[in-house]
């Protein structure tokens, strides 16, 4: 699995797309977090799409846990709260009958990940777990002091006087170098369209500094992953991991339909034509120029007011020219606003619709 917990801000996605009753959503599965976050908007149906079966198996497991457990058991089973490994395996035995044979087979061969808490088993989460351990060694108590800041005034002073040092910038330079990203994620999509004159670590440095000028670090799920390697305070839990959202998800979970297929194979189906909202994550990072133009041309040919949101990590890939996107209406002001306030910090957006 590449992702297992939450790597994108569900609140930002909802602001971008405005999901509401009557909508039918197509959402890239990833860790399943955005699928579940968009379900909180009360759509009629959500098609969870991924070409990686492991990501869909993970969503199945989370959905099974929502169906079968109360909130505390769900949170402990996923790894949000502590519990013995043996208890998680016992809970897995309880939800296993709710899985498809393929998903059950997958997790039967990944019992260690289940026992340790599936929430932190993805390559993304393992990467930030290692990053957090290294930061604690390099920065000592500064990590805890940053997360202990209770006001923005206190945090801004700490950032300027103690945090934003040459050592912090070196840590970012090493963490977000191309060789490290290639080793950690095994996919060049994270930097394939990045501007070589603007290194990724500088982009992240600027975005983190800007974010922490107006948001407490302790309230960001991404800062929790980067600095601690895990979620440790309900103040920053992603929405689908919160107790109040759990009740809603349990009522609506049957609306989710999982599909394993490449993006354009799905877009050729009647199910895709039935969708009017598209949450396509950072799929653009993994499309060549022809495929990227083809995606926007598909939206431009729609006649039903379809809305879409694409993200790019560590870069900003502009939409194709008007010859391809003619008829589409983009929302640049909202894009810029979300880039500045998005809790996942490193993303840029393309938000639009076919009127």
Tens digit of each residue's pLDDT (9 = 90 or more) over 88-134:
999 999 999 999 999 999 999 999 999 999 999 998 899 889 889 98
Burial 129-157 (b: 16+ CB within 10 A, else e): eebbeebbeebeebbeebbebeeeeebee
How many C-beta neighbours within 10 Å does residue 118 have?
25
Beta partners for residue 49, in sequence order:
28, 259
Q: Are residues 139 and 178 in the same domain?
A: yes
**Burial of residue 295, with CB atoms counted within 10 A of its CB: 0-12 exposed, 13-18 middle, 19 or more buried:** buried
Task: Identify whether 39 is part of a domain.
Answer: yes
Q: Are residues 84 and 129 in the same domain?
A: no
Q: Write down the pLDDT at residue 196.
A: 62
Dist. CA 3–CA 19, nearest whole Å: 23
| Domain-ending residue, one of 186, 215, 236 | 236
Dist. CA 126–CA 2, nearest whole Å: 9
CATH for 27: 3.40.50.150
Q: What is the CA radius of gyration of the chain?
A: 20
Q: Are residues 108 and 136 in the same domain?
A: no
In the chain, the largest separation of any two C-alpha atoms, in whole Å, equals 58
Dist. CA 44–CA 55, nearest whole Å: 23
Task: Identify whether 226 is part of a domain.
Answer: yes
Q: Write down the pLDDT at residue 63.
A: 98
Task: Identify whether 5 is part of a domain.
Answer: no
Task: Identify whether 1 is part of a domain.
Answer: no
Tens digit of each residue's pLDDT (9 = 90 or more) over 57-67:
999 999 999 99
Task: Identify whether 129 is part of a domain.
Answer: yes
Cβ contact 31:3 at 8 Å: yes
Q: Write down the pLDDT at residue 197.
A: 65
Which residues lie below 8 Å from residue 45, measured CB to CB, with a gap of 6+?
24, 25, 255, 256, 257
In the numeric block, the tokens 């926007």 are attached to 296
Tokens of 149: 């800041």
Dist. CA 208–CA 223, nearest whole Å: 9
227: left (phi over 0), alpha (psi -120 to 50) or beta: alpha
Cβ contact 33:10 at 8 Å: yes
Which residues lie below 8 Å from residue 19, measured CB to CB, with a gap of 6+?
25, 38, 41, 42, 43, 277
Task: Identify whether 96 is part of a domain.
Answer: yes
10-residue mean pLDDT series, the chain (355 residues):
88 94 96 96 97 97 98 97 97 98 98 96 90 87 94 96 91 79 64 66 87 92 92 93 96 98 96 97 85 96 92 84 93 93 88 95
Q: Are residues 257 and 222 in the same domain?
A: no
Q: Are residues 222 and 248 in the same domain?
A: no
| Domain-ending residue, one of 204, 236, 268 | 236
Cβ contact 310:345 at 8 Å: no
Its pTM stands at 0.92
Q: Are residues 259 and 283 in the same domain?
A: yes
Q: Write down the pLDDT at residue 190.
A: 60
Q: Could you list the residue range(s) of the whole structural domain that residue 177 is in?
A: 124-236
Tens digit of each residue's pLDDT (9 = 90 or more) over 200-215:
788 888 889 989 999 9
Count of domains observed in the chain: 2
Q: Are residues 78 and 49 in the same domain?
A: yes
Edge-to-edge strand list for the sheet holding 329-330: 256-260, 45-50, 24-28, 277-279, 307-313, 347-353, 329-330
Cβ contact 189:282 at 8 Å: yes
Q: Are residues 50 and 80 in the same domain?
A: yes
| Domain-ending residue, one of 236, 252, 277 | 236
Dist. CA 184–CA 166, nearest whole Å: 24
Question: Strands 307-313 and 347-353: what pairing?
Answer: antiparallel
Q: Are residues 192 and 267 in the same domain?
A: no
Cβ contact 328:293 at 8 Å: no
Q: Are residues 104 and 177 in the same domain?
A: no
**Burial of residue 126, with CB atoms counted within 10 A of its CB: 0-12 exposed, 13-18 middle, 19 or more buried:** middle
Q: Are residues 245 and 336 in the same domain?
A: yes
Dist. CA 23–CA 313, nearest whole Å: 27
Task: Identify whether 3 is part of a domain.
Answer: no
How many alpha carbons lie under 13 Å from residue 197 in its C-beta half-sphere? 0
Q: Are residues 14 and 113 in the same domain?
A: yes
Task: Identify whether 89 is part of a domain.
Answer: yes
DSSP 308: E
């Amino acid at each position: 699995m590449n992702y297992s917990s939450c790597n994108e801000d569900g609140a930002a996605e909802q602001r971008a797309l405005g999901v509401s009753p009557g909508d039918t959503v197509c959402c890239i599965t990833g860790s399943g977090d955005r699928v579940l976050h968009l379900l909180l908007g009360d759509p009629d149906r959500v098609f969870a799409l991924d070409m990686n079966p492991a990501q869909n198996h993970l969503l199945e497991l989370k959905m099974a846990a929502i169906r079968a457990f109360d909130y505390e058991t769900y949170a402990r089973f996923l790894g949000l709260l502590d519990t013995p490994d043996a208890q998680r395996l016992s809970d897995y035995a309880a939800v296993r009958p709710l899985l498809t044979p393929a998903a059950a087979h997958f997790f039967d061969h990944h019992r260690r990940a289940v026992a340790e808490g599936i929430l932190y088993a993805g390559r993304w989460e393992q990467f930030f777990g290692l990053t957090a351990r290294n930061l604690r060694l390099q920065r000592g108590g500064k990590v805890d002091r940053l997360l202990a800041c209770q006001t923005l005034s206190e945090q801004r002073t700490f950032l300027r006087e103690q945090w934003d040092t040459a050592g912090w910038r070196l840590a970012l330079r090493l963490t977000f170098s191309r060789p490290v990203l290639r080793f950690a994620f095994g996919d060049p999509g994270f930097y394939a369209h990045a501007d070589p004159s603007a290194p990724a670590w500088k982009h992240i440095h600027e975005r983190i500094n800007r974010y922490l000028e107006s948001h407490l670090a302790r309230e960001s799920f991404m800062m929790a992953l980067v600095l601690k390697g895990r979620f440790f305070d309900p103040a920053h839990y992603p929405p689908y991991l919160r107790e109040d959202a759990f009740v809603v998800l349990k009522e609506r979970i049957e609306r989710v339909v999982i599909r394993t297929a490449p993006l354009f194979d799905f877009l050729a189906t009647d199910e895709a034509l039935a969708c009017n909202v598209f949450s396509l994550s950072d799929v653009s990072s993994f499309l060549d120029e022809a495929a990227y133009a083809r995606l926007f041309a598909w939206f431009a040919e729609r006649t039903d007011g379809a809305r879409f949101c694409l993200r790019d990590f560590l870069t900003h890939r502009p939409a194709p020219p008007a010859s391809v996107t003619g008829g589409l209406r983009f929302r640049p002001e909202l894009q810029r606003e979300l880039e500045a306030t998005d809790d996942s910090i490193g993303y840029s957006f393309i938000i639009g619709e076919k009127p």
